[in-house]
Structures are given as C-alpha cells and as structure tokens.
Amino acid sequence: MDRGMPTAPHLARRFPEAAELGERLRAAGATVAVAESCTGGLLGAAITSVPGSSLYFRGGVIAYSDAVKIALLGVDERLLTAHGAVSREVARAMAEGVARSLGTALGLAITGVAGPGAEGTRKPVGLIHVAAWRPERSADVELHEHGDRERNRAGAVRAALSLGSAILDP
C-alpha cells in the first residue's frame, strides 16, 4: 500500500452508494437519519464512512427489539401485531419515526431476517423490508436475499442507500 495516497475507508469502497446519497443530500440541503433492525448499525456505518457525512447525517436507532421500535421510533404496536416486525408497514413506520424523532428530511429503515436462522418468526431467511420516508413521499422495497448473513445485510444496506437517493429526486 502506498502510504502517500489516501484511500477511502473500507465501508466507503464497499458501499459507493453512500457517497451518492451524500452528494444528493448535500445538493438538497437535507439531512438523514436511519432506523435499523437486522443490519445492526451497518447502514449508519456506511453513511458515516464518507468524509463530510456529519453535514447531513443526524444519527440512528438500532431497533432490534419490538419494544425499541415502539418506544423510540413510535411504531404502533398494532402494526407489529398485525404484520410482524418484518413487514412493509413496520419498515415505513420506522423510517417515518426516525425522521420525525431526529428532525431530518429523510428517514431510512431496514427490518428483516438476515439469517442464518429465522429465530422466532415464520418469515423466511433473506426477507428484508427497506423503506425511505420524506414528508412529501415515501417508498419501500421488499428484498428476497439468498446469501449468507453478511451478504443479506449488505444487500439491504445497498437497497436503503439507493432508495434514499431515488426518493430525493424531484
């Protein structure tokens, strides 16, 4: 390795979509917050791996348990009961909840079953819901990943970063 040339941090190289999202957020003068379940902070880490991300990244909530989803993100317990934590409805509520809680223009959320086991749910390994929320619009995507735990989590992060960029388009 050439010590004279700075290199991008590992996560910034692994998730180039983070830099694209950052550019769009800067151009829009907007901020982002994240709510993560199965990715356990990987989305926030990818965003903050980009130098200068403190200009647009406010923070995040790792909401692994339903209790945290309810208490910190304002997810309605009835949504969890009716649809389960791994659902489009809960992902959308998480994205809106984190944006409202942290006062950002954009909220991103991920909830799913990363694997290798389903641990208490009948939903299949690799089922992941990603949501992006802005006051003007929201979007979500359902993923059916087929990798191991780390690949499933990485796929979810890429999807969230791309969805965040897409929802910033006018």
What would the two tokens of residue 138 be?
Answer: 């929201």
Containing structural domain, residue 40: 31-168
Cα–Cα distance measured from residue 19 to residue 14, given in angstroms and rounded to the nearest whole number:
11
Is residue 14 domain-resident?
Answer: no
Whether the per-residue pLDDT at 137 is higher than 50: the answer is yes
pLDDT mean over 151-156: 95
What is the pTM assigned to this prediction? 0.92
Q: Is 40 helix (H, G, I), strand (E, B) or coil?
A: coil
* Overall number of domains in the chain: 1
Report, as an integer, the average pLDDT of 93-110. 98
User: Which tens digits make up the pLDDT trace of 31-52?
Assistant: 999 999 999 999 999 999 999 9
Within a domain: residue 25? no
Provide the CATH number for the domain around residue 62.
3.90.950.20
pLDDT tens string 18-28:
999 999 999 99
Quote the tokens at residue 165.
């960029």
Q: Which residue would you say has higher pLDDT here, 141 or 126?
A: 141
